Each structure stands twice: as structure tokens, then as C-alpha cells.
Structure 1
Amino acid sequence: MPTQEYFDRIPPFPSKLPVLPLSKISLEGLKNNTTEEVEELFEACQKWGFFLLDLRGSDEGATLLQDAEGMFDLTTQLSTLGQETLKSYTYKPPDFMRYKGIGSIKTDNGEADHIHAYSLSQDEVLGNPNRSSLHPEVINTSKEQLRKFIEHAHAGLDEVLAKLDICLGIEPKTLEALSPLDKESESLVRLLWSPAQANPDYDRISFGGHTDMGTMTLLFNIAGGLQVLPASCENVQENWQYIKPEPGCAVVNVGDTLVEWTGGLLRSSLHRVVTAPGDQAMVQRESVAYLVRPKRTASLQRLKGGIIPPLLPGEEYETRSVDEWNEWRSRQIALGQLKPETRGGRNM
């Protein structure tokens, strides 16, 4: 998350809430190939599919934190444009970039969502001429700032993926090569905000339970509200656990594609967003997500080698591309034929 200065602007996260005991993995420790750090990373990606990436004590981390603060400032500016202005930039399926208004989708309990989102294509920000859209002026004048955030966030996740290569026993740069910065993909930056609540409704689901369909997601948030449902737990209110935001850290989670590539060794956990807890509900909740997705030409086929389990008798290698599989999966969920749920991993 951003630095302490940004945390001091809102009420503190309440004590005595069910909080997920996530590992805190040092980016500098990963860069130095510290054995304990690497082993803890692999364990976290199997057990929870989530961990805190500690960016402190690292020049690259300090730069990324500064970038993230700029993204929060951009989110605040977007949120003040007014509803009529924002509506003019509403996304048009099948392209889901640009603005998603509050109340436009249903949550787990059938009620309307309670979150605004503005999504920006990585390809467009990095200058792919085949990807361009009309945006508010505040976005147009922030393209360089967005580019730096993407480049620095991607570099941080590449460090994570490089260590997972080692833990999986596969060739160096295997995972990085499947989701590179310089190839066309569906990777994106998403700026999100939920309005302050005059009368906090602690049971309100702002964004329903889901898993991320890409490779990995890096998230910055200051107010609480992000929850994870531990594996094997019934999907009832009391089983969901909060992720407590911490200054100087980002939340990182494994996506569905990485689960498929590793034959289910890693875990993609069901998660959702609810109203920020306690007095935090009375301020606007903002978050910034960078969702890394595979290059367009990537196959969903399971990787071979190392400790990745081979196919069982009767199983066949996946022949669809990642994009084809994601489109199929999204359609099945939308039709109610497939239920979002935690995938892969192991209990430890």
C-alpha cells in the first residue's frame, strides 16, 4: 500500500476483525534470492494464493510506492468528474475498458454492486496503435504517469514470477515469457472507488466473489474491505476474512491462468470487496489494481518439467488459447453454468 502519509488521511482499520494471516514477502529479499523469502513465497502461493509484497527497503519498491500514490491521486480526480461526464465514457462490450458505473452488475446476493471502476488497457498506455479509446482529459494528461506505474509494477511481478520458476523447477524466465510487457495482451490498470457511507452497512457487498482470470494481480488499497474465503470453507458471511492493508506493501494474488499452467499447484482464491469496516466506511474507498494477463498468443496448456504434475490417465492437454478459455469461462459464469470458486493449491 502507499506510505503512512496516505493511511493517516482515513480512520484506522478496526481491531478484532477476522484477518487473513498473510505472509509478508520482501521485494528486496526476492531480488537477493534469500532462501527463506523464496520458500515463504511459494508456500503462500499454494496456501492462500495471496501475499503482501513488502516494497520497503528497496529502491525499486520505493519508486513503485510513489507511482501508486500518483494512481490514487488520479483516482480521486476521476471520482470528482461527475456522473454525467463519467457516463459518457462507459465501456461497450465486448471491450470492457473505460468506465463501469456503480450498480451496473449483480453481486453474490443478487443486489447491485457498489463500486465505480475505470479500466485502462496496458497496450493502449504503452502505445499500441491498434488500441485507442476516448478518455477524460485527466486520463489523457496522465499517460506518462500510467506508463511508469505499469512498467514498475510489471518489473516487481517479474521478480515474483522468476522465483516461482525456481520453486517449480522449470526453465528460468518461463513464466515471465508468457506474460511479457512488450507483447499484446489483455493486461490492464483498474482504478476503483466506492462512495462514503453515511450509515455504514457492514453486510453490503461492493463487488462480488470472484477469482482473477489472468496471471497475477498487484493491488494497492488503503481502506479495508477486501476479503478472501479460505479454501474448503462454506460461502457464508462469517467465513470470509479481511486482508488488512499495510503501509509500504502491495497485495499480490495468483490468477486462474497460473493455476492451469502449474497443474493446480498454485491457488487462485475466491475474493470479494465489501464496505470498508468501522469508521473507514464513512470515507471514499479507493484502490488501484494492475492485472497481468498472458500474451494473446499464449496457450493454456499445462507446463512441463520440474515438480509440475503430469496429466493423469485419461486427461488431455488443453488446446485452447488463454483468451479462448477466458472467454468461455466468463460466458459460463455469466450464464450461471459455472460458479466462481477457489481453484488449485493445497492446505498447509
Structure 2
Amino acid sequence: MATATETITLPYHQAPETTESLDWADLVTLDLSKFDQPGGKEELAKEFQRAIEEVGFFYVKNHGLTPSDIDTQFALAKSVLSLSNEDKAPYRAALEAGDYNGWKPAGIRDLIPGVKDNFEIYNIPKFIPAHANRPHPPIVKEHWTTIEEFSTRIHKQIVQKLLVIFAIALELQDENYFVDRHRYSEESGDHLRYMKYYHRSDEENQKLGGVWLKGHSDMGSLTLLFRQPVAALQVLTKDGTWKWVRPQTDALTVNLADALHFLTNGYLKSSIHRVVAPPPDQAHIDRLGVIYMVRIEDDTDLIPIQGSPVLHRLGLEEQKALGADGQPVKAGEWVKQRVIKNLGATSSAKGDNAESDVEIVKGVKIKYYE
């Protein structure tokens, strides 16, 4: 068992990919090396159209982060999550209050009676004054500068470029429309996530029907998943079937989330995805992940944007409030309430995997899928 003073071990070695024949989703790959070329942003926006039309999942390559940069974060994730529960306990997230930063233990909710969730998380919020006094384990503080550089580079080199591409795809006059609502300096729920799914017994997998986390959308704007070779992620396609998301060498997997869905009346689809038991040749492996969650600024009203010729042509620019009371829901409140309902509340008597939809705020519900 790791101790609170353990250093990271490099090089980090990823698990081998599955050799099973799986039904992989056919996803678009955006090459960010085109971004600064003449006409490159516009070309990327056209390529992004297919991701919009399909499932809201896509890959991003030539993003500017090296394999060494990413491996360092996986090594940190391994060390942080290998600390004893006693060492991690002082940093437990106040999930019941809607705060997801810090440590979320595995096994805090029932998926079905007698079978609990099997994932553990450590979230590190973005590096702004609002979070400056938050405590972290020594292993995190020892590598603070490395983690900060990684997080800020993600925002500048990847997130901002994608947000510009989205604005161009919507034919907005201001290509910085989304960038200006995702400022790193302002309060929002952006965070770097270390995550581990612990492998299950055959008996538990049979009880769960192989589904570890039911189909759901993410609560922010974007989710960036660094290469995860243990196959377990599936996406719901537009024809209603589940397909596996293949890990790509030197590419990130990105999916759209709730905020962009609400701002565009569903044109930018908040993709539905789930986590299932890995194929037999990976069933014994704990699935370690490094993820970056992008959130729009907390005080943003989740109402459809105006001035997009695309939304106008499709009849999607009606400026209706999200809440049942006719008042806008703020992005920060949406995230907070989703955390409370999804992670901070007590499981239902039948378990989380029995739920089909959950009311979040002001009568607005999210649906869960088998």
C-alpha cells in the first residue's frame, strides 16, 4: 500500500489493449495541427459537423501534450489513488453539499441491492485563487507545479481551440463566444480527475448484467479522456445501439456535455455513454483513468444562445428558460445539484442502476439508460 510520502514511478506502463473483437464506434478525429493553418479552423468545424450528427463523441490528435506529460499524470493518479483510505480521508469531497473536488471513495452507493459502485475519484480543481487554500495529499503538493502546468495547458492548447471550432460550426460572428464563457480565471467547475474502476468478480458482473455505470450524460461542457486502454466505455449511437469507444494512440477522446446541449437546444448533443465490464482478457485489471472536465462559468444562464444562423435554420434558437418556473438555471447550480443527486444522496431502495430518470432542479430531469 502506498504511503502519503511516496513518489511517482516513471516510466508509467499502460495495460495492454484487448485482443477481443468488439463493435467499435466510428468516430471523427480532429487534427488540431490544422488550427493555425489558413482555413484550418473552418475545415475542422466542417469535420466536427459529423460528430454533432452522430453521437457527440470524437477524437483529438496533435493536441500538444507529449506521451511523457500524460504518463506523468497516470503515474500520479496511480500513486494518489493507491494511498490508504485513512490517508485520503481528510480530503474527502463534500458530495452531499455538491462539492466534488477532493476524494470520492469507492462503494458509497448501491447499484443494485448488495452491489455497490466500484469507482474511486480524486478531483483537483483549476488553479485560481478560489481554490488556493484547499488541502491535498503530500504526493499532490509535491508535484503541484507539474499538475498546474498540465491543467493550464489543457485549457489553452486544447479546450480554447475546440470552443472556437464549435463557434465556427454554429456560424457565430464572434468565434470567441464560447471561449469568453469558459475563462480559466473565473469560477467554474473545471477540474483534473484521477479515477479508478476496480475490477469485479464474475458473480458481481452477472448480477449487474455487466453494466457498471448506467448510460448518462456529463454535467458540464466537455469531457476529455486521456488514452485508456482497458475497454469499458460505450456510447449510445443515434440508432439506439451501444458501441465500444476504442482507445486511440496519441489521441484524446472527447465528448460533449449538458451545458453545450442546453445552450444550443440539443444541436450540440450531450452524448450518452456508460461503463461496462471489460472484455475477458482485461477483466482482472483495475481501470485507471486521467480525465479533464470542462465546465462553463458558474453564473451562465443555461438558455439557448442567439445569433447562430445554424440554430435559426433548424428552429432551435427559441430563448426558453430551462427551469419549470420560467427562470433560467445557472450552470453552477446545475452542476451542484447533479452532484448532490448523483453522488451525495442516499441510493434508492432498488439501487442506482434501477433508476430511469432523476429530477435535478426546477423540474428538469436527466434520463439514465440501460
Scaled to the shorter chain, the TM-score interval is 0.7 to 0.9
How many angstroms does 1:315 deviate by?
4.5
1:212·1:255 contact (CA, 8 Å) conserved in 2?
yes
- 1:217 and 2:223 correspond: yes
Cα displacement string for residues 252-301 of structure 1 (whole angstroms, at most 9, x for unaligned residues): 11111001111221111111222332322222211111111011222212
List runs of 5+ in structure 1 lacking aligned partners. Answer: 56-60, 234-238, 343-348
- Cα distance between partner residues in 1 of 2:61 and 2:132: 33
**Count of residue pairs brought into register by the alignment:** 324
| Deviation of the 1:159 alpha carbon | 0.7
Q: Tell me by how many angstroms 1:190 deviates.
A: 0.9
- Rate the CA distance shift 1:45–1:67 in 2: closer, same or farther, 3 A: farther
For 1:153-168, list aligned pairs within 5 A: 153-155=154-156, 156-168=158-170
Q: Deviations over 1:105-160 (max 9, x none)?
A: 344898421111111111xxx14145532221111112111111111211202111
Paired residues of 1:25 and 1:41 also in contact (CA < 8 A): yes
Change (3 A) 1:301 1:86: same
Whether the 8 Å contact between 2:225 and 2:254 is mirrored in structure 1 is: yes
Counterpart contact for 1:27–1:53, Cα < 8 Å: yes
**For 1:15, which of 12, 20, 28 is the aligned residue?**
20
Aligned positions of 1:190-201 closer than 5 A: 190-196=193-199, 201=205
Paired amino acid for 1:207: L
Q: Distance in 1 between matches of 2:101 and 2:317?
A: 39
| Residue in structure 2 matched with residue 128 of structure 1 by the alignment | 129
2-structure distance, mates of 1:316, 1:100: 32
Secondary structure in structure 1 of the residue aligned to 2:48: helix
* CA shift in 2, pair 1:265/1:314, >3 Å: closer
State whether structure 2 residue 145 is matched by structure 1 residue 118: no
Q: For 1:208 and 1:23, how far apart are their aligned partners in 2?
A: 24
In the TM superposition, what is the alpha-carbon distance from 1:21 to its structure 2 partner?
A: 0.8
Q: Please point out which of 53, 60, 72 is paired with 2:60.
A: 53
2:230 counterpart of 1:230: no
Distance change in 2, residues 1:174/1:107 (3 Å): farther
Say whether the 8 Å CA contact 1:179–1:215 is kept in structure 2.
no
Give the Cα–Cα distance (whole angstroms) in 1 for the partners of residues 160 and 202 of structure 2: 42
Give the match for residue 77 of structure 2: 75
Match of 2:305 in 1: 303
Match of 1:264 in 2: 266
1:325 aligns with 2:334: yes
Aligned counterpart for 1:66 among listed residues 65, 68, 75: 68
Q: Partners of 1:87 and 1:23 in 2: how far apart? A: 41
Between 65-74 and 308-317, report the one with greater CA deviation. Answer: 308-317
The answer as to whether partners of 1:64 and 1:152 remain within 8 angstroms in 2 is no
* Alpha-carbon spacing, 1:287–1:37, altered in 2? closer, same or farther (3 Å): same
Does structure 2 retain, via aligned residues, the 8 Å contact 1:113–1:205? no
Distance in 1 (alpha carbons) for counterparts of 2:286 and 2:89: 19
Aligned-partner SS, 2:311:
coil
Closer/same/farther in 2, CA of residues 150 and 51 from structure 1, 3 Å limit: same
Structure 2: distance between partners of 1:26 and 1:285:
27
**Which residue type is aligned with residue 124 of structure 2?**
L
* Matched-pair contact (CA < 8 Å) for 2:304–2:318: no
State TM-score, norm by structure 2.
0.78
The answer for unaligned runs of 5 or more in structure 2 is: 1-10, 349-357, 360-364
Distance 2:112 2:50 in 1: 29
Kept in 2: contact 1:115–1:207 (CA 8 A): no
Normalised by the size of structure 1, how large is the TM-score?
A: 0.83
CA contact (8 A) 2:100 2:339 kept: no
Letter in 2 for 1:253: N
Query: What is the aligned-residue identity percentage?
Result: 24
